[in-house]
Structure 1
Amino acid sequence: MILAVDLGNYNIKTSEGVIFESRYQEVEKEDFDNELLEIENKFYKMEYGEFENEFNKAKKNYLPNLLYAISKSIDENEIEVDLVLGVPASNLGITSEIKNDIEDKNFKFKVFGQEKKVKINRVATVAEGLSSFYTLKKEERLKDLIILDIGGRTFNVCAFSKGKTLLKFTQPGGMLDLYSMVQENYNKFGNNANIEEIVRLIENGTINCEEEKVRFVKEQINKIKLKISNLNTFKIFVTGGGSLELQQGLRTVLGEINYIPDTIFSNVKGNKMIAELKWGKENE
């Protein structure tokens, strides 16, 4: 089957509606501990530990998250998949590295004690943000529009006119960078919170960082305007998990914005649509 996976810096998402935090911790296995992912005699506790700081996805140890995503998306113990991955718009050169790592290869591993076998056949990559374009209605795709895809480490920017791509690029800086700013301010007052704790404190209302969010969005948009000076002449669509958390800041800075339907999963859904057009649906 065709499966689209977004190996995000903050969340992992798949075209099967799976989402989980993009972090894991290598641990020693205890005698009766089956709540682990096991690959080549290494044990990983998923969704624990710290978020990675590496920007280049090909240089990360992404395999635990990828295999975990596949196993959560397909309820079979022995499977073959054609894989579509989203990568930053300015980072498409990593495609060959990723293909060398995983294309036409077999993987054996255990998830929570259950043995799994995965054969990854074909692998393709699509620029993040660009894939969401294909989930829009045809009449929308013919307009002058910009898609801002806000993730953990980046703003991916894709501009279109009459259905054609004008430009696409990646502006470094995403939600994890914002959390780092909040962390620095919070710890000035004698606290010692890491990023994961900062996220929890924001979510439960202990930390109010709306001012930081507006300032962060303004800084990012100003950088984007260096490449697209006439931003206000495009209809602006936003997507990605960060777009929901930054909604107030985006509206303050940009005025009217439009959310791509199914914002969290629009990229992986678009990637699967593209793959089905290129590869066909016969293996579904």
Structure 2
Amino acid sequence: MIIGVDIGNYSVKTSELVNFISKVSESSSFTEENKITIDEEIYYIPSGEFSTEWNKSQKDNTIPLLYSALARCEGNYFKVVLGLPVGQYKKNKESLKAKIEENNFKHVLFKNKEKDILITDVLIAPEGASTYYNLTPEQKESIGNKQLLVVDIGGRTTDICLFQNKKILDVKTIPIGMLNVYQEIIDDVNELYTQELKLEDGEEILKDGLFLDGEYKDNSFIKPILLKNFNSIYKDLQLHFNPSKGYVLLTGGGSKVFEKAFKNRLKNIILDNDPVFSNAKGFYKLGINLWKE
């Protein structure tokens, strides 16, 4: 079975529409629902804290997260397509591929079901760029040979890929993602309201507001945080590319958060139809093309 697996810094997504938070803990949990045993090693996924390691090929949680994703899918044999940020792709793709190949067989127990999982083939693809392969035929026809900038706003990074005539001409990885935004929100809340909230609470506050002591608090401090991070992304976009040419495709989990800001600056924005799963589905289509199944 061919499968695309997007092991993001915030969440893991697959082309089979599996989606869970990218947190791994070896400490026991109050519930056994998140428990998974991989070759007699016990993990709780999602549980614990996020990994903020910059080099994704060196993350300790890659193998547990990958097998947790595969355990949630039907079948025992997988041809897997994974991704790396475009700025890390050339340098680190072989080391990530080697890591997967060295751990290509595991015995897994998940939700009272045991199975042996064998990864028979591995392909590493550039994140963000893979979104291009998940465009609809209508979108591709509309873009034609015009310039396309894919802006993929993820958990730890924003990946930018320049396409022209359907080929990648340039790439850039910016070290800003939604985890940065969440952490800045939490830092301000903890200082303003003498709290000890953690990074994981940032998404909830951004989405639903700040609720403390039985009431919603003023959250006007969030707008400057969003503006600062958007300006950092947009500045790099302008310095390295010309976003006014052709089209700019927004994708990734953070694209909805910054959609309005981008639209206020640019009139050539295309919104991804499925920004959360776009990379994983693009990985899958690359796998189909490579392995011809």
**TM-based fold match above 0.5:** yes
Q: Could you tell me which runs of 5 or more consecutive residues in structure 2 were left unpaired when the two chains were aligned.
A: 211-218
Contact in 2 for aligned 1:34/1:113 (Cα 8 Å): no
Q: Please name the residue that 1:217 is paired with.
A: 230
Q: Please name the residue that 2:84 is paired with.
A: 87
Is the deviation greater in 134-143 or in 267-276? 134-143
Q: Please name the residue that 1:7 is paired with.
A: 7
Contact in 1 for aligned 2:250/2:270 (Cα 8 Å): yes
Task: Look up the equivalent residue of 1:64 and give its one-letter code.
Answer: P
Tell me, yes or no, if structure 1 residue 24 matches structure 2 residue 24: yes
C-alpha separation between the residues in 2 aligned to 1:144 and 1:125? Answer: 25
Contact in 2 for aligned 1:214/1:253 (Cα 8 Å): no
Is the deviation greater in 206-215 or in 120-129? 206-215
Q: Please name the residue that 1:154 is paired with.
A: 157
Q: Please name the residue that 1:59 is paired with.
A: 58
Contact in 2 for aligned 1:36/1:45 (Cα 8 Å): yes
C-alpha separation between the residues in 1 aligned to 2:284 and 2:33? Answer: 32
C-alpha separation between the residues in 2 aligned to 1:29 and 1:117? Answer: 25
Following superposition, the deviation at residue 272 of structure 1 comes to: 1.1
Given candidates 254, 257, 271, the residue that maps to 2:283 is 271
Tell me, yes or no, if structure 1 residue 143 matches structure 2 residue 140: no
Following superposition, the deviation at residue 123 of structure 1 comes to: 0.5
Q: Give the alignment's Cα RMSD to 1 decimal.
A: 2.0
Q: Please name the residue that 2:213 is paired with.
A: none
How many pairs does the alignment contain? Answer: 276
Task: Look up the equivalent residue of 2:124 and give its one-letter code.
Answer: T
Task: Look up the equivalent residue of 1:40 and give its one-letter code.
Answer: D
Given candidates 265, 269, 272, the residue that maps to 1:257 is 269
Q: Please name the residue that 2:184 is paired with.
A: 181
Per-residue CA distance 1:145-185 (angstroms, 9 max, x = gap): 11100100111001112222221121111000111221222
**After the TM superposition, which segments of 4 or more aligned residues of structure 1 sit over 6 Å from their partners?**
none
Q: 1:251 to 1:211 in 2, by over 3 A?
A: farther
The 5-angstrom pairing of residues 63-212 of structure 1 reads 63-72=63-72, 74-76=73-75, 79-92=76-89, 93-103=91-101, 105-136=104-135, 137=137, 138-139=140-141, 140-189=143-192, 190-206=194-210, 207=219, 209-212=222-225
Q: Could you tell me which runs of 5 or more consecutive residues in structure 1 were left unpaired when the two chains were aligned.
A: none
Following superposition, the deviation at residue 186 of structure 1 comes to: 1.6
Is the deviation greater in 36-45 or in 16-25? 36-45
Is the deviation greater in 255-264 or in 122-131? 255-264
C-alpha separation between the residues in 2 aligned to 1:134 and 1:34? Answer: 35
C-alpha separation between the residues in 2 aligned to 1:33 and 1:218? Answer: 43
SS of alignment partner, residue 231 of structure 1: coil
Following superposition, the deviation at residue 221 of structure 1 comes to: 1.1
SS of alignment partner, residue 233 of structure 1: coil
**What is the TM-score with the length of structure 1 in the denominator?**
0.90
Following superposition, the deviation at residue 225 of structure 1 comes to: 2.0
Contact in 2 for aligned 1:12/1:19 (Cα 8 Å): yes
Q: Percent of pairs identical after alignment?
A: 30
Q: 1:197 to 1:97 in 2, by over 3 A?
A: same
SS of alignment partner, residue 236 of structure 1: strand
Following superposition, the deviation at residue 224 of structure 1 comes to: 2.5
